[in-house]
Amino acid sequence: MNSELEEIKKKLEELKAQHILVPKMSMIKTKEQIDGIREAGLINTGILDTVSLQIHAGMSTEEINTIVHNYTISHNAIPAPLNYEGFPKSVCTSINDVVCHGIPSKKEILKEGDIINVDVTTIYKGYYADASRMFIIGKAKPIAEKLVRVTKEMLDECVKSIIPWKSHLGDIGEICTRIARRNGFSVVENIGGHGVGLDFHEDPYVSHVAKAHTGVLLVPGMVFTIEPMVNEGRSGVYQDLFDGWTVRTIDHKLSAQWEYTIAVKEDGIEILTH
Ligand code: MF3
Ligand code: CO
Ligand code: CO
């Protein structure tokens, strides 16, 4: 273990002795590892920027998959979703009442007024970076525009709130539920963010419905996603039995999601993927 990690380990042991819930050392990354995740993040951001320039009404979600796949491969990177636990495509595309894990298809055509989440995860030199954005196709109804905006604000508020050595993981969930409730929306309860970087999904699990001051302390070296899924109506969701992936709202009202990969550092947090 290098001296940088040794120092964090010592601090964590002291805090643990004071009965503060602290992360395991396996959740702490070195500066070198964070540099690697940042590089993967730059490619990931390039992919989402490219999608953002090309997405339009009349295109299929399969075409989005092609854009993501080709950009990734041409940058000597690997699209993490492809073949992940049997997922058949290189990106998740989730339209309207689809909450997450939508599978791109030639038969699915974007139309004016749709809202869509494009969730991209890139592996570069063994490092993983994960992010998603919402896109509004043309002009959507006001409630859809509000849902997309509020979900983005929620993610940004979570990021702003984090103070290294002071915030706890549960603070994130408290912020999400408060903002959703204030706007008449609900937060998906059983799918959350995750540690990321050396693998696709690592510890800790990041709940968007937790209580403040609960969960592990947020300390330098932790890298995880924040990715709230916010519903226009009820919070309940179900998984498509036929494809085994697509998650939809039970009331078939709209759902939105934004995701960043962030790193906790000594002087604050860094967003590694936009
Ligand atoms: N990118 C998603 C996340 O944010 C996970 C997608 S898993 C896949 O965690 F297999 F559907 F790609
Ligand atoms: Co993702
Ligand atoms: Co994620």
pLDDT in tens, 140-190: 999 999 999 999 999 999 999 999 999 999 999 999 999 999 999 999 999
**Which ligand 1 atom sits nearest the alpha carbon of residue 225?**
4
Q: Which residue has the higher pLDDT, 2 or 159?
A: 159
Query: Quick check: 242 pLDDT over 90?
Result: yes
Alpha-carbon radius of gyration of the chain: 18
User: Does ligand 1 have an atom closer than 6 angstroms to the CB of 119?
Assistant: yes
Cβ neighbours around 86 below 10 Å, total: 7
Tokens standing for residue 38: 């940042």
What is the H or E stretch that residue 265 is in?
strand 260-265
Q: What is the mean pLDDT of the segment spanning 61-70?
A: 99
User: Does ligand 1 have an atom closer than 6 angstroms to the CB of 63?
Assistant: no
Residue 60 carries which DSSP code? B
pLDDT of residue 136: 98
Query: Quick check: 239 pLDDT over 90?
Result: yes
Residues β-bridged to residue 94: 117
User: Does ligand 1 have an atom closer than 6 angstroms to the CB of 130?
Assistant: yes
Q: How many contiguous H segments (helices) and E segments (strands) does the chain have? A: 5, 15
Query: Quick check: 134 pLDDT over 90?
Result: yes
Residue pair 256/114 in contact by the 8 Å Cβ criterion: no
Residue 225 alpha carbon to ligand 2 centre in Å: 8
Query: For residues 124 and 273, what is the distance between their CA atoms, to the nearest angstrom?
Result: 13
Residues contacting 143, CB < 8 A, separation 6+: 232, 254
**Which ligand 1 atom sits nearest the alpha carbon of residue 259?**
4
Residue type at 47 in one-letter notation: I
One-character DSSP codes across 3-47: HHHHHHHHHHHHHHHTT-----GGG---HHHHHHHHHHHHHHHHH
Query: For residues 120 and 65, what is the distance between their CA atoms, to the nearest angstrom?
Result: 10
**Which ligand 1 atom sits nearest the alpha carbon of residue 200?**
9
Residue 3 alpha carbon to ligand 3 centre in Å: 30
Q: CA geometry: angle at 136 spanning 135 and 140, to 5°?
A: 160
Cα–Cα distance list, 189 to 206, 245, 249 (Å): 11, 17, 12
pLDDT of residue 103: 99
Residue 119 alpha carbon to ligand 2 centre in Å: 5
Q: CA geometry: angle at 43 spanning 113 and 171, to 5°?
A: 70
What is the band of 267 on the pLDDT scale with cuts at 50, 70, 90? very high
Q: What is the mean pLDDT of the segment spanning 180-209?
A: 98
pLDDT of residue 209: 98
Residue type at 210 in one-letter notation: A
Query: For residues 50 and 64, what is the distance between their CA atoms, to the nearest angstrom?
Result: 10
Task: Please confirm whether the linkage preceding 204 is cis (ω < 30° from 0).
Answer: yes
User: Does ligand 1 have an atom closer than 6 angstroms to the CB of 117?
Assistant: no
User: Does ligand 1 have an atom closer than 6 angstroms to the CB of 81?
Assistant: yes
Residue 259 alpha carbon to ligand 2 centre in Å: 6
Residue 18 carries which DSSP code? T
Residues contacting 190, CB < 8 A, separation 6+: 237
Q: What is the mean pLDDT of the chain?
A: 98
Q: What is the mean pLDDT of the segment spanning 245-268?
A: 98
Residue 92 alpha carbon to ligand 1 centre in Å: 7
What are phi and psi for residue 84, nearest 5 degrees? -70, 115
Q: Which of these, 90, 41, 34, lies nearest to 61 by C-alpha position?
A: 90
pLDDT of residue 1: 81
Q: Which of these, 194, 191, 184, lies nearest to 237 by C-alpha position?
A: 191
Lowest mean pLDDT among 1-10, 89-98, 134-143, 224-233: 1-10
